[in-house]
Amino acid sequence: MSMKVSTRQVDGVTILDLSGRITLGEGSVTLRDAVRDLVAKGDKNILLNLGDVSYIDSSGIGELVSAFTSVKNSGGELKLLNLTKKVHDLLQITKLYTVFDVKDDETSAVGSFTR
Amino acid sequence: MPNTPTTRTSLTLASTLETVDRVEHEAESFAARFGFNEDDVSSIAMAVREATVNAVIHGNAYSQDKQVTASFEATENELVFRISDQGTGFNEESIPDPLSPENILRGSGRGVFLMKAFMDEVHFRQLSPGTELTLIKHRTPEQHAA
């Protein structure tokens, strides 16, 4: 199952709803391009909804990290929402869980961005 | 003690992303046959995927002239996955620690770390040419009955 991404705006926050697998190849490239486009447009508040991400490999983790870094370097914030157990455990193992701001509720996630 | 049959299967495939998906899927099916729970099957499949990615990208550099060989073996005590490429070789010591502060925000470099996190043993062997990764998952007594 390839990765799909849809975009919506809630209270000044751009939410990317991701579904499928974020893996080497099409999945990771789709994520990379989506975030790159938002940064190019000047979006500063980006929330990645990973509730429907069934699988992520090390390349996908790398893309999450790269997305985080590029948004931060452009003066914005990137946060994660609704991690599945699998993704949560991977971020824990790789010591990235505390690097990201991880949320489990969309309303509070949207409200947490600095404006 | 009667001899316990050993199950083996082997694939030789092109250096493509399709091969990565195929080997991962085969490893998942193979592990599921031998009594591992869903989480362990998923972890094994991920470790094998990471090894295959390394073979395709870092070993063979997607070369059409080089192949990846994946072999799976089940004995009474363990599952053994061997993934080999035909590249120029690989120095395990050269892998940066992905958990160190200077590397934690790198966009790559976590594959071997995840293999070691999910498998009980990870071994590198230099071939001529290429590299062979051996990933081993030990079987518990409950899984012996499977």
B145 pLDDT more than 90: no
Contacts B107 to A, Cβ<8 Å: 62-63, 65-66, 69
> By CA distance, what is A25's nearest residue in B?
B17
Averaged pLDDT for residues B84-97: 90
Residues B49, A57: C-beta atoms closer than 8 Å? yes
pTM for the predicted model, two decimal places: 0.93
CB contact under 8 A, A61 and B110: yes
Mean pLDDT, rounded, for B116-144: 92
* Spatial distance between the Cα atoms of A76 and B34, rounded to a whole number of angstroms: 48
Answer yes or no: is pLDDT of B111 > 60. yes
pLDDT of residue B2: 46
Is A29 in CB contact (< 8 Å) with chain B?
no
Q: Do A66 and B113 touch (CB under 8 A)?
A: no
Check residue B8 and give its pLDDT. 92
Residues of chain A positioned with their CB less than 8 A from the CB of B104: 95-96, 99
Residue-number span of the structural domain to which B53 is assigned: 7-144
* B68 contacts B90 by C-beta, under 8 angstroms: no
Q: pLDDT per residue over B53-87, tens digit each?
A: 999 999 999 999 999 999 999 999 999 999 999 99
Q: Which residues of A touch B102 (CB under 8 A)?
A: none
Condensed to tens digits (0 to 9), the pLDDT of residues A35-44 reads 999 999 999 9
* The pLDDT of residue B144: 65
User: Which member of B50, B104, B105 has the closest CB to residue A58?
Assistant: B50
Is the pLDDT reported for residue B133 higher than 80?
yes
Question: Which class does domain A4-109 fall in?
Answer: alpha beta
Residue with tokens 């002239």: B65
Q: How far away is chain A from the Cα of B73, in angstroms, using its nearest Cα? A: 24
Q: Supply the pLDDT for residue B146.
A: 54
Is the CB of residue A96 less than 8 Å from the CB of residue A62?
no
The domain that holds B16 is classified in CATH as: 3.30.565.10
Show the low-confidence residues of chain A (pLDDT under 70). Answer: 1
**Domain spans, chain A:** 4-109
ipTM entry = 0.92
Structure token pair of residue A4:
């799909």
Total of domains in chain B: 1
Which positions in chain B touch A68 (Cβ < 8 Å)? 105
Mean per-residue pLDDT over chain B, rounded: 92
**Cα A83 from Cα A89, distance rounded (Å):** 9
Collapsed DSSP state (helix, strand, coil) of residue A21: strand
Q: Which of A24, A94, A96 sits opposite B53 (nearest CB)?
A: A24
What pLDDT is attached to residue A34? Answer: 97
Q: How far is B96 from chain A (nearest CA, A)?
A: 13
Could you tell me if residue B37 is inside a domain? yes
State residue A1's pLDDT score.
64
B71 forms beta bridges with B10, B82
Please tell me the predicted confidence (pLDDT) of residue B35: 87
DSSP, residue by residue, A34-93: HHHHHHHHT--EEEEEEEEEEEE-HHHHHHHHHHHHHHHHTT-EEEEE---HHHHHHHHH
Whether B24 maps to a domain, the answer reads: yes
Check whether B46 has a pLDDT greater than 90: yes
Contact criterion met (CB < 8 Å) for A62 and B110: yes
